[in-house]
Amino acid sequence: MAQVKVFFEPEAELLTIFWQEPRKNQICTELDNGIILIKDEDSGETIGVEILSYRPGDQRLDQINVEIGQALPILT
């Protein structure tokens, strides 16, 4: 079972969500509207997101869709 780690820094208005362990070699890319994608630099795998200027009830959480698991093989 995957564990999700959520960090909220109210003074900085920063919400960080990891569904994998943070990495020393992670890279961040801003998608849009203050949403930052966090990836493992070596594998390119997404390991978390960060939301800038976050306040409880922020509507931007509705924009994030995370699917954890492996894709099913296509049978032909």
pLDDT at 56: 82
pLDDT at 69 over 60: no
pLDDT in tens, 12-64: 999 999 989 999 999 999 988 899 999 999 999 999 999 999 888 888 777 66
3-state secondary structure 7-68: EEECCCCEEEEECCCCCCCEEEEEEECCEEEEEECCCCCEEEEEEECCCCCCHHHHHCCCCC
Residue 76 contacts residue 68 (beta carbons within 8 Å): no
Could you tell me the pLDDT band of residue 66, with boundaries at 50, 70 and 90?
Answer: low
* Annotated domain spans of the chain: 5-56
pLDDT at 3: 82
Q: Which of 18, 27, 2 is nearest to 50 (CA)?
A: 18
pLDDT at 73 over 80: no
